[in-house]
Amino acid sequence: MLVYTASLCLLWASCILAAPATKQTRQKVLLISFDGFRWDYDRDVDTPNLDKMARDGVKALYVTPPYLTITSPSHFTLLTGRYIENHGVIHNMWFNTTTTQTKPYYQTQFVNEWWDNGSLPIWITAEKQGRKSGSLHFPGTASTYQGMTPTIKEVEPLLYNYKDETKWRKNADKVMGWFKDLDLDFVALYFGEPDGTGHRYGPDSPQRREMVKQVDRTVGYIRDSAERHGVSNHLNIIITADHGMTDVYRNGLVEEITLSKIPGFAFSDLSFHLVDFGPSGMLLPKPGRLEKVYNALKDAHPHLHVYKKEEMPERLHFAKHERILPIVLWADPGYVINGYFPVQFHKGEHGFDNQELDMKAFFRAVGPAFHKDLEVGPFETVNIYALMCHILGITPEVNDGHLDATKHMLVTSPRPTSGEPVNYLQKVFMGLSAVAGFLLVVFMVVMSHKMLTKKHKNKRLESSKDLTDKEVSKVTSF
């Protein structure tokens, strides 16, 4: 009986120790995006504030954005934890294939049905579960979702100067005021640089390096502002980006991709097209002309990739949504896709395959939920949503990410070896070992119980036998 009781105590203690710790202070999250901040932009620039943030928190080697690696789709993946084919914001531009009408990036922010098509951003999920949220300039802020908006939001005006450092600081103080005065739990904050500078001057330009210094100063200011507003003790700051940036080949260095020059291809075979927007494009052939268009473009240029929608590589997660057109194009790094003639003059571009290293983004996180001075391996940005929901203590919507990809960053998990990616096979083996150990304990408890029961039963049988023998003896003597 003693072994049985001890085993039950052991099982009870194991359950208690395995239960997650909870804190009475509700943790808050500030998600910041610096548009187009490539994973290695801090390597050729002195960035003392980003370096300090890494020492005080977590730094990833890089993070992988979803394909298509452009602003609105990638940011909506951060907000929803869905791949682009699942959340439906497939491009920066709203378009109508029937009328051939399109709207540029800023105007698309106000087309509600483009954003509100089934997937909820984290600020709505938080509001639905009793939290208060806000968003400042983040893509998707202007729209409502299922008729809901965050507690407070602000959309930048048309022709907004995304480079103005003074406005950056005002926005940082504004957000910290929201946390303090409105007691918000979550805020998304967007900065439009260094994307614009990388486009105009190129990712290796001195102008880009100066802009990275501005970003670094702003990171320091944001953390100082959190201290001044008295919210740093329970505020977790996550800083990342939507994509990277790479140089564009021009000036006769390469044979450019111009669709109108490809033999057998004609724009008259199309009902609608989206090209002249960097290295990616989509085509809608007229009825009965899909094979003609596809065969003309396939293998037409060594650096042009042409896929039928249903044949897209599964790893890109860019095929299933009805908004994605029947033919998808993308170019290799350094190339852009021109339609009738070259009209693109950026020195830097994004929108390439998300496997390309230049498309990777940076990641920093600091706050009471995170380990300190920890560098982790790469992971996909689709997993950041589940991480934020976990910190906020809210139940996530259906999503394509997983907390297992990021939970090793948290103080509630054992500290991994710095700089090494998490060995998930080892985790699985450890998990199976734990299950096997648990079953072994259960087996021992059951067998001990059976043995004790059998022993007691044998004692009772022996006692009964002795009693019977004595009675028989008494009868015989009589």
Q: Which residues are catalytic?
A: 71
Contacts of 110 (CB under 8 A, 6+ apart): 142, 143
8 Å CB contact between 98 and 286: no
Secondary structure class of 60 (helix, strand, coil): strand
Q: What does 327-389 look like in DSSP terms, one character per residue?
A: EEEEE-TT--EESSS-----SEE--S-TTSGGG-B-EEEESTTB-SSEEE--EEGGGHHHHHH
Which helix (DSSP H) or strand (DSSP E) does residue 424 occupy? helix 424-477
Count of other CB atoms within 10 angstroms of residue 64: 22
Contacts of 222 (CB under 8 A, 6+ apart): 32, 172, 176, 237
Count of other CB atoms within 10 angstroms of residue 23: 11
- Which residues lie across from 337 on neighbouring strands? 257
8 Å CB contact between 291 and 275: no
Amino acid making up residue 131: R
Please state, in angstroms and rounded to a whole number, the distance separating the CA atoms of residues 436 and 227.
Answer: 48
8 Å CB contact between 285 and 326: yes
- Which of 229, 257, 254, 218 has the alpha carbon at shortest distance from 341? 257
Burial class (CB in 10 A: 0-12, 13-18, 19+), 131: buried
How many Å is the maximal CA-CA distance in the chain? Answer: 127
8 Å CB contact between 403 and 386: yes
Contacts of 22 (CB under 8 A, 6+ apart): none
